[in-house]
Amino acid sequence: MKQVRRTLEFLLKAIVLLVFVFPFLWMISTSLQTLQETLRFPPTWIPASPQWMNFVTAMNAGPFLTYAKNSVIITFSIIVLQMIVMIPAAYSFAKYRFFGKEILFSMVLLAFMIPGQVTFIPVYLMLADWGLIKTLLPQIIPFMSNAFGIFLLRQYFMQIPQEIIESARLDNAGEFKIIRKIMIPMSMPALATIALFSFVSHWNDYFWPLVMTDSAGVRPLTMGIAMLRETEGISNWHVIMAGNVVLVVPILIVYVFASKQIVRAFVYSGIK
Amino acid sequence: MKKFSTVLMATAMLSGVLAGCGGGQEQSGGGTGASSAQTPAPAASSGSGSGGKVTVQFWHSLGGKNGEYIDAMIKRFNESQSKVEVVGTFQGSYDEMVTKLQQAVAAKSEPDVAMLERAYVQMFADSDVLEDLNPYMKKSGLSESDFTPGLMGHSTFNKKLVSLPFNRSTPILHINKTMLDEKGLAVPKTWDDLKKVANALVVKEGNEYKRYGLSMPYDTWYPIAMITEAKGKFFDDAGKSIGFAGGEGVKVFQFLKDMQSTGALYYPPAQDSGNIVNTMFTSGKIGMMFQSTGVIGSLSDNAKFEYVTAFMPMDQVYANPTGGANVAMMAGSKNKQAAWEFLNWAMTDSKGALQFVLDSGYLPFTKKMVESQQMKDLWAKQPARKVAYDQLQYAVDTNKHVNWTQVNQEFLKAIQAIMYDNKDIASTLDTFKKETERILKQ
């Protein structure tokens, strides 16, 4: 009986895994095929000879070095700025009592619920008016605060016992020292989760860069890959997929490093 | 509590809008940032600036190979003279371009020249943001009669010539001639022929179709073509309702459903349908397809069989819509003279759009291009492309309306209901007619 259950469990896991891994494998396989192989039906799985040149073709199709640099600067700045804004905000929402706290917090939740598609026109007009469209800032400034992050981190901070903070205060620790020495180290899993979500969503974002940028010099990788698609006719899927592999690799690397923390974040907040 | 914060939020957003609009005029140059900093005064409109080059921003939607061809054309222009520097920038798909252009017009950061999918031209013409090209044409000795008439359907609105054809295409019948020859079938010229040939090509094993006769991408373009072939019009002449309620619409979809039921027609899933049918065609899973002329190049490169093209088969008449994009000059441009220099060069110089058309496989759109030796040589090599041009004599655009995009969405819904969900044709089209009338009234 136990054996049967185990086998079933294993099968189920294998199926779920396959569903998630399948598109990845297909992407990698396609990125190494020739155009003829991508057009074959039924699809080719193992390319006859791996076409590493596809990566070179993709990278030469535009100023990919600039795109990559922009992607890194944008995502990195967003994460750093978000941390600077988010941690003190979450701390005050979790541990202080002050006038208007409820209103302010409900505004944060509201911001969390409004999608970017609703606000992009006024935001664009404002930033254009400030003369920032030719810079990277329109892709960074609107994301300086992360409502979801503030919300998640506040929940996490609230679980940290008040006594620890009180005793730190007795030892003459200032508020920023408390944040630095107690709150941050104790909430690493939550911070890692937020940072990773933020990283993935901004690294992969296509809509926002599309509407906020007019010139190649300030565009991220996602725009470069969209450019590889044909307007009409047969798209060079092998080259597009090579571009996508390049786009996805950093996410996988970051995930490998952050995955432990993320699992912990979910386990801990689940127990409480 | 919640209400209060909503109001606060709304105020904050509104003040953002106001700031955006109000400030626009006093420092309209702000939006264009670097480029306007280099070319200080709008004095540049008189042609060349006092010092360096005048920069002309050109927004387009061409990615992949076509993106390379347009970049090459821009480079040729920049090297051909020393006064104007054209900067071409990819702005996403045709639809995304519309969004970008709308917001850029509002922020006064619009480009000088923009590529517009032809059905969207009217919308922008209607809001008066496109420059009338007639005076420029006159000065340069160009006239409308220099262009292919079938491609000028989306150019003149309110007596203003607001766009010129550029990367234009039209639906056409693509045929796997080898497959037809094996069965001793002739290339279909009428719907009746088409049905017979398509049915003859079907290969069925058990309950599974191994091969279909005909296919087409999921798009409103092909049903519109067939409606006009049945002598219907998409919109009626008054522009108040659809023009195929007299049975033409039912006829088209009944014809398609009949073919679908026997495997003569494969109607692809909506997502990425163009790529799906192309792949099935090149791998011999379908014998014929309605598809854009834009794919001729890639099909002839990838087909391992004798590949030919033919006119869209006729019902009552030969007829076909056109597609692809035009180029337009923005009324808000500060470098109109320079922008025109670029457009004029593209339209007339053999290194301009002619070379782009030869490279990409889009339709030649001026008489000079058609008569050029390069075009004749290309057609001798690839007769499939000549057929595409010849078919233009039957080009007719009957889907012209400012609210076309909304109607297009509704028509797609009707196509889904009929082709995927087997809904009753007459009642679905009736619902579509009512929706259309409501939208057209707006």
**H helix and E strand count, chain B:** 19, 15
Q: What is the DSSP letter of B364?
A: P
For residue B50 the two structure tokens come to 């006092």
SS (H, E, C) B126-171: HCCCECCCHHHHHHCCCCHHHECHHHCCCCEECCEECCEEEEEECE
Highest mean predicted confidence (pLDDT) among A23-37, A68-82, A236-250, B45-59? A68-82
B11 touches A: beta carbon within 8 Å = no
Task: Please report the pLDDT score of residue B51 as a whole number.
Answer: 56
Question: By CA distance, what is B90's nearest residue in A?
Answer: A227
Checking if the pLDDT of B25 tops 60, the result is no
Q: How far apart are CA B415 and CA B432, in angstroms?
A: 10
Per the prediction, chain B carries an average pLDDT of 87
* Facing residue for A230 by CB, picked from B19, B21, B63: B63
Beta-carbon contacts of residue A72 (< 8 Å; ≥ 6 apart): none
Tens-place pLDDT, residues B325-341: 999 999 999 999 999 99
Task: Please report the pLDDT score of residue B324 as a whole number.
Answer: 92
Checking if the pLDDT of B49 tops 50, the result is no
Task: Please report the pLDDT score of residue B302 as a whole number.
Answer: 84
Count how many pairs of residues, chain A against chain B, have C-beta atoms within 8 Å.
162
Average pLDDT over residues B261-279: 92
Q: Chain B contacts of A142, Cβ < 8 Å?
A: none
HSE-up (13 A, CA, CB side) for residue A220: 26
Average pLDDT over residues A119-127: 90
Checking if the pLDDT of B33 tops 80, the result is no
| A237 neighbors B111 (Cβ within 8 angstroms) | no
Tens-place pLDDT, residues B349-359: 999 999 999 98
B1 touches A: beta carbon within 8 Å = yes
Task: Please report the pLDDT score of residue B35 as a whole number.
Answer: 38
Checking if the pLDDT of B14 tops 60, the result is no
Task: Please report the pLDDT score of residue B4 as a whole number.
Answer: 41
* Facing residue for A129 by CB, picked from B4, B30, B100: B30
Q: Do A41 and B285 touch (CB under 8 A)?
A: yes
Q: How far apart are CA B318 and CA B425, in angstroms?
A: 24
User: What spatial distance separates the first Cα and last Cα of chain A, rounded to whole Å?
Assistant: 34
> Global pTM?
0.83
Task: Please report the pLDDT score of residue B13 as a whole number.
Answer: 43
Q: Is ipTM strictly over 0.90?
A: no
Task: Please report the pLDDT score of residue B426 as a whole number.
Answer: 95
Task: Please report the pLDDT score of residue B405 as a whole number.
Answer: 85
| Mutation to test the A interface, candidates B25, B55, B59, B90, most A Cβ within 10 Å | B90
- Name the minimum distance, in Å, from the CA of A59 to any CA of chain B: 12
Question: By CA distance, what is B104's nearest residue in A?
Answer: A125
A100 touches B: beta carbon within 8 Å = no
A122 touches B: beta carbon within 8 Å = yes
Checking if the pLDDT of B289 tops 50, the result is yes
Question: By CA distance, what is A216's nearest residue in B?
Answer: B89
Task: Please report the pLDDT score of residue A77 as a whole number.
Answer: 96
Tens-place pLDDT, residues B294-306: 888 888 888 889 9
Beta-carbon contacts of residue B314 (< 8 Å; ≥ 6 apart): B189, B190, B191, B229
Q: Do A106 and B111 touch (CB under 8 A)?
A: no
Q: What share of chain A has pLDDT > 70, as a percent?
A: 96
HSE-up (13 A, CA, CB side) for residue A208: 21
Residue A260, Cβ neighbours under 10 Å: how many?
Answer: 11
CA B262 to chain centre: 32
Residue A118, Cβ neighbours under 10 Å: how many?
Answer: 10
Q: Do B4 and A103 touch (CB under 8 A)?
A: yes
Q: How far apart are CA A4 and CA A11, in angstroms?
A: 11
Q: Where residue A41 falls among pLDDT bands split at 50, 70, 90? A: low
Average pLDDT over residues B80-94: 94
Tens-place pLDDT, residues B145-186: 999 999 998 999 999 999 999 999 999 999 999 999 999 999
Q: Where residue A266 falls among pLDDT bands split at 50, 70, 90? A: low
Q: Enumerate residues 214 to 273 of chain B having a beta carbon within 8 A of any beta carbon in chain A.
A: none
Task: Please report the pLDDT score of residue B316 as a whole number.
Answer: 94
Q: How far apart are CA B291 and CA B283, in angstroms?
A: 16
| Mutation to test the B interface, candidates A129, A137, A238, most B Cβ within 10 Å | A129
Q: Do B64 and A227 touch (CB under 8 A)?
A: yes
B10 touches A: beta carbon within 8 Å = no
Q: Chain B contacts of A231, Cβ < 8 Å?
A: 61-64, 66-67, 93-94, 167, 294
Q: Do B111 and A214 touch (CB under 8 A)?
A: yes
Q: How far apart are CA A235 and CA A118, in angstroms?
A: 32
H or E segment and range at residue B116: strand B113-117
Q: Enumerate residues 130 to 159 of chain B having a beta carbon within 8 A of any beta carbon in chain A.
A: none
- Name the minimum distance, in Å, from the CA of A168 to any CA of chain B: 35
Q: Which residues are B289's β-sheet partners? A: B174, B215
Tens-place pLDDT, residues B387-428: 999 999 999 988 888 888 899 999 999 999 999 999 999 999
Backbone angles phi, psi at A213, to 5 degrees: -120, 145
Least confident of A47-56, B5-14, B31-40: B31-40
Give per-residue burial for B181-216: e unless 16+ CB within 10 Å, then b. Answer: eeeebebbeebeebbbbbbebbeeeeeebebbbbbb
Average pLDDT over residues B32-43: 37
Least confident of A208-222, B42-56, B223-237: B42-56
Q: What share of chain A has pLDDT > 90, as a percent?
A: 52
Task: Please report the pLDDT score of residue A39 as a whole number.
Answer: 73
Question: By CA distance, what is B169's nearest residue in A?
Answer: A232
Q: Chain B contacts of A106, Cβ < 8 Å?
A: 1-2, 5
Q: Hunting for tokens 């599309």 — which residue is that?
A: A210
Q: Do A125 and B107 touch (CB under 8 A)?
A: yes
Average pLDDT over residues B280-289: 93
* Facing residue for B67 by CB, picked from A131, A210, A227: A227
Q: Hunting for tokens 């199709």 — which residue is that?
A: A61
Helix (H, G, I), strand (E, B) or coil at B211: strand
Q: Where residue B112 falls among pLDDT bands split at 50, 70, 90? A: very high
* Facing residue for B61 by CB, picked from A126, A228, A231: A231
Strands B323-329 and B203-205: unpaired
B203 touches A: beta carbon within 8 Å = no
Checking if the pLDDT of B21 tops 90, the result is no
Q: Enumerate residues 186 to 205 of chain A having a beta carbon within 8 A of any beta carbon in chain B.
A: none
Q: Do A128 and B20 touch (CB under 8 A)?
A: yes
Q: Do A216 and B89 touch (CB under 8 A)?
A: yes
Question: By CA distance, what is A237's nearest residue in B?
Answer: B275
Task: Please report the pLDDT score of residue A113 as a whole number.
Answer: 86
- Amino acid at position A243, single letter: G
Checking if the pLDDT of B61 tops 80, the result is yes
Average pLDDT over residues B367-382: 94
Q: Where residue A268 falls among pLDDT bands split at 50, 70, 90? A: low
A147 touches B: beta carbon within 8 Å = no
Checking if the pLDDT of B37 tops 90, the result is no
Checking if the pLDDT of B281 tops 50, the result is yes
| A158 neighbors A151 (Cβ within 8 angstroms) | no
Q: How far apart are CA B129 and CA B175, in angstroms?
A: 42
Helix (H, G, I), strand (E, B) or coil at A171: coil
Average pLDDT over residues B257-275: 93
Average pLDDT over residues A20-44: 85
Average pLDDT over residues A43-52: 85
Q: Where residue B44 falls among pLDDT bands split at 50, 70, 90? A: very low
- What separation in angstroms does the CA of A263 have from each of A7, A14, A21, A182, B192? 25, 20, 19, 21, 64
Beta-carbon contacts of residue A60 (< 8 Å; ≥ 6 apart): none
For residue B88 the two structure tokens come to 């071409």
